[in-house]
């Protein structure tokens, strides 16, 4: 078996939920195997064996733990990934239909999805639609066309849900950030470097896998400036608030969408008047210097 057993042991010893689905831990004295996050007391290291999955542990003669249900891990992750794919394909699907489609009770599935991704199925669907609307802004001929292309029934939905995430008017966005000054910083996250960019109005781009160059390419008509320590501290704080238990056995695109959405949600929990407004002031003050 190819597995870094030292790292596996550290994950098991710290009950790391992120490791669930990556391997199982079998305890020789009890004949039971567990998911890495099992709440049960930890045996001595020389009493455990690591297997890549439940099937391997079973083949070696172990039974599944009744406390942590290691066999359910893969099934849960598959259900969450299938539901996320369904939301991407069909737009907002009501919870009961979504849960039924993947074979779970609605309430249970809601909790499971939230625990696995850090956001609810409805928030996940909103994040996808928001992403589509923003992508359409640059691609379609007008703001109105973009709104309908993204799947909104009415412009009012777009202005309530997506437009506040632009950090500028939809028209300025369509025109490469014309007239805007954008400050940006990079934050290290559990999912890699994250771009956090804001105008004087508020954040305009929060994206994994993008950087200052990507920002400049997206907004060729804007003035792009590196952010100061105030902006960096704010971004770091928001990202820490959002640091969600997104499970590593989910596809990276699902985790990225959910994580970015969790960051937008965390931004809303920051009381207006304090750090968020600081960033806005810093951005506008910076625009003048
Ligand atoms: Zn267990």
For residue 112, being part of any structural domain is answered with no
Question: For residue 166, how far is its CA from the centre of ligand 1 (angstroms)?
Answer: 45
Domain boundary at 69, 94, 115, which?
69
Binned at pLDDT 50, 70 and 90, residue 283 comes out as very low
Catalytic residue among 68, 204, 244, 276: 68
User: Is 204 a residue of the active site?
Assistant: no
Q: What is the pLDDT of residue 63?
A: 97
Binned at pLDDT 50, 70 and 90, residue 279 comes out as very low
Q: What is the pLDDT of residue 201?
A: 92
For residue 139, being part of any structural domain is answered with no
Strand partners of residue 80: none
For residue 24, being part of any structural domain is answered with yes
How much is the mean pLDDT over the chain? 88
For residue 125, being part of any structural domain is answered with no
* Residue 282 · residue 228 · CB < 8 Å: yes
pLDDT digits 0-9 by tens, 48-82:
999 988 989 999 999 999 999 998 888 888 999 99
For residue 279, being part of any structural domain is answered with yes
Spatial separation of the C-alpha atoms in residues 43 and 232, rounded to whole Å: 42
Q: What is the pLDDT of residue 91?
A: 84
For residue 122, being part of any structural domain is answered with no
Tell me the C-alpha to C-alpha distance, in Å, between residue 147 and each of 161, 163, 202: 11, 10, 21
Q: Nearest to residue 223, comparing CAs of 176, 266, 280? A: 176
| Total number of domains in the chain | 2
Mean pLDDT of 265-283: 59
Same domain, 282 and 166: yes
Range of the domain at 207: 162-288
Least reliable range by pLDDT among 14-18, 136-140, 180-184, 270-274: 270-274
pLDDT digits 0-9 by tens, 200-223:
999 999 999 999 999 999 999 999
Same domain, 167 and 274: yes
Same domain, 65 and 167: no
Question: For residue 63, how far is its CA from the centre of ligand 1 (angstroms)?
Answer: 10
Question: For residue 34, how far is its CA from the centre of ligand 1 (angstroms)?
Answer: 4
For residue 142, being part of any structural domain is answered with no
Question: For residue 105, how far is its CA from the centre of ligand 1 (angstroms)?
Answer: 23
Domain boundary at 40, 69, 98, which?
69
For residue 157, being part of any structural domain is answered with no
Say whether pLDDT at 130 is over 70.
yes
The residues whose Cβ lies within 5 A of ligand 1, an ion, are 34, 38, 40, 65, 67-68
User: Is 244 a residue of the active site?
Assistant: no
Q: What is the pLDDT of residue 152?
A: 85
Question: For residue 20, how far is its CA from the centre of ligand 1 (angstroms)?
Answer: 11
Binned at pLDDT 50, 70 and 90, residue 245 comes out as low
Domain boundary at 18, 42, 69, which?
69
Say whether pLDDT at 261 is over 50.
yes
């Amino acid at each position: 078996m190819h597995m870094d057993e030292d790292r596996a042991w550290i994950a098991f010893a710290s009950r790391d939920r992120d490791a669930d689905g990556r391997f199982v831990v079998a305890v020789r004295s009890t004949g039971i195997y567990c998911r890495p996050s099992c709440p049960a007391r930890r045996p001595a290291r020389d009493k455990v064996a690591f297997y890549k999955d439940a099937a391997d542990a079973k083949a070696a003669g172990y039974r599944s733990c009744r406390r942590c249900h290691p066999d359910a891990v893969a099934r849960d992750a598959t259900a969450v990934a299938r539901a996320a794919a369904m939301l991407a394909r069909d737009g907002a699907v009501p919870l009961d239909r979504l849960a039924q489609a993947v074979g779970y009770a609605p309430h249970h599935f809601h909790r499971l999805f939230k625990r696995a991704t850090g956001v609810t199925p409805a928030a996940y669907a909103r994040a996808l639609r928001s992403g589509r609307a923003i992508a359409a802004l640059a691609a379609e001929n007008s703001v109105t066309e973009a709104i309908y292309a993204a799947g909104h029934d009415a412009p009012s939905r777009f202005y309530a849900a997506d437009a506040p995430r632009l950090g500028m008017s939809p028209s300025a966005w369509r025109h490469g950030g014309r007239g805007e000054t954008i400050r940006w910083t990079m934050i290290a996250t559990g999912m890699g470097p994250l771009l956090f960019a804001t105008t004087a109005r508020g954040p305009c781009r929060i994206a994994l896998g993008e950087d200052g160059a990507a920002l400049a390419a997206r907004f060729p008509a804007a003035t792009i400036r590196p952010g100061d320590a105030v902006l960096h501290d704010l971004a770091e704080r928001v990202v820490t608030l959002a640091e969600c238990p997104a499970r590593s056995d989910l596809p990276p695109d699902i985790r990225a969408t959910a994580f970015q959405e969790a960051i937008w949600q965390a931004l809303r929990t920051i009381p207006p008047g304090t750090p968020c407004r600081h960033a806005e002031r810093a951005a506008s003050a910076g625009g003048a210097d």
